[in-house]
Structure 1
């Protein structure tokens, strides 16, 4: 009886490594960091970047090919494919022009992602739980090393949406793309330097969500996601108040 009980714990190990590579590359493609026609890094470069085996890289690329995100060209490399135009019924996404726009979008995300966290706690498979944990570990490592962490932040939220096993949650976040990272939007959309975020706090908030999902505790997962997203909205409200006060002082 011991042999059957061990195999499920070994299997998610490699699956989780593959899922981590898939999620990182998928996030770059869906966010626009990699655009149609771009060539993926070579296989040795991907092995070095992710610290995984050639088999894991090849499985990840095969999955991206199956999702029609990339195509292999014999003897040339792997290239990003053009994404189909979004459905006309998609949610209109006006450009950010002020901090209050970001707060409104955080409130919208909260309405979706709080429930996503609860459903993930109920429905996530062992491999999906491993994917959430892997994305959290990447984010935590990048925070500790003071590296850019927006990609891993986005991947964490996408992994939770996928773990609902309701594809509409992932589709919603995929449509938002990197807009889900407000600190990036301050620089990219508003032309302002991003505030110095308390990344240790964000990492702690992510960890509480991941732990609740791992414990299969929907109520705590929802509460942790609520604290994370609505806490972020409150922090941006404070930033907006400071900006308004500065403008009044200049006037």
Structure 2
């Protein structure tokens, strides 16, 4: 059974054409528009329907093959493969095309790194804590030399992942680095423009390391999460991203003491109201 040529009316006109075409075809496979066993349109048909060259089509199909989404049959063409039981982890290439999309990946990192720091505080060896302190010095040295410090910053967070004793965290952070590197350049470039930003980052890094060294998982989690939240806030202050979508972040980062105080106040108001009601009835 051959799938019909794709009939989308708009053409691809931006960079990374092969990535976008691969993503579009992958989405059609995921949605069932292209089913296992369907034959893909020919290179010529895909090129015509999407307004791209046949070279772009070949590159896109190669990506689909590398993801085990399609397979070639000699003399017959490319066919949609059966869904694999285990699919490789991959992000949409579009995450690299705008600052706002990079922030989405940073949110993923924030969720992960809070727990990673907490586990590191419980499990880090003395040599790993020493490695963290060396990583901090490397970041400071890079900044003092006028470098962006991206590689050193990524290495610092990689050491925290290794300190958990769980090799899967190291592998996951290593995978995310390809998406985080550009985000790091943006954030560190923004922070380098203001001395107070740079000092805040150094202080936040030290707080994470000291919490891990003190074997305090609660503090390590809090400092790691707040470091990333404040990094986003610095992007807002620096005018790199808009603040509208981030309004909920400070509330999410509200300290536990403030939350308990709010609950206590609400309970007190409820008690007073109840007492007044009883007095009126009596």
User: So what's the TM-score if we normalise by structure 2?
Assistant: 0.49
Q: How does 1:140-179 map to 2 (within 5 A)?
A: 140-179=140-179
Structure-2 residue corresponding to 1:52:
none
Structure-2 residue corresponding to 1:133:
133
Deviation at 1:118, TM superposition (A): 0.3
Structure-2 residue corresponding to 1:33:
none
Structure-2 residue corresponding to 1:43:
none
1:66-100 per-position Cα deviation (integer Å, ceiling 9, x unaligned)? xxxxxxxxxxxxxxxxxxx9994213252412221
Q: Runs of 5+ in structure 2 lacking a partner?
A: 1-65, 68-85, 244-282
RMSD: 2.5
Aligned-partner Cα distance in 2 for 1:234–1:200: 15
Structure-2 residue corresponding to 1:223:
222
Structure-2 residue corresponding to 1:3:
none
Q: Runs of 5+ in structure 1 lacking a partner?
A: 1-84, 188-193, 243-251
The structure with the larger Rg is: 2
Q: Count residues with an aligned counterpart.
A: 152
Aligned-partner Cα distance in 2 for 1:183–1:205: 16
Structure-2 residue corresponding to 1:184:
185
User: So what's the TM-score if we normalise by structure 1?
Assistant: 0.54
After TM superposition, where is structure 1 displaced by more than 4 Å over at least 4 residues in a row?
85-88
Tell me if structure 1 keeps the 8 A contact 2:117–2:212: yes
Bigger RCO (CA 8 Å, 6+ sep):
1
Structure-1 residue corresponding to 2:91:
92
Deviation at 1:175, TM superposition (A): 0.5
Aligned-partner Cα distance in 1 for 2:114–2:191: 25
Tell me if structure 2 keeps the 8 A contact 1:103–1:237: no
Aligned-partner Cα distance in 2 for 1:186–1:116: 21
Aligned-partner Cα distance in 2 for 1:93–1:215: 39
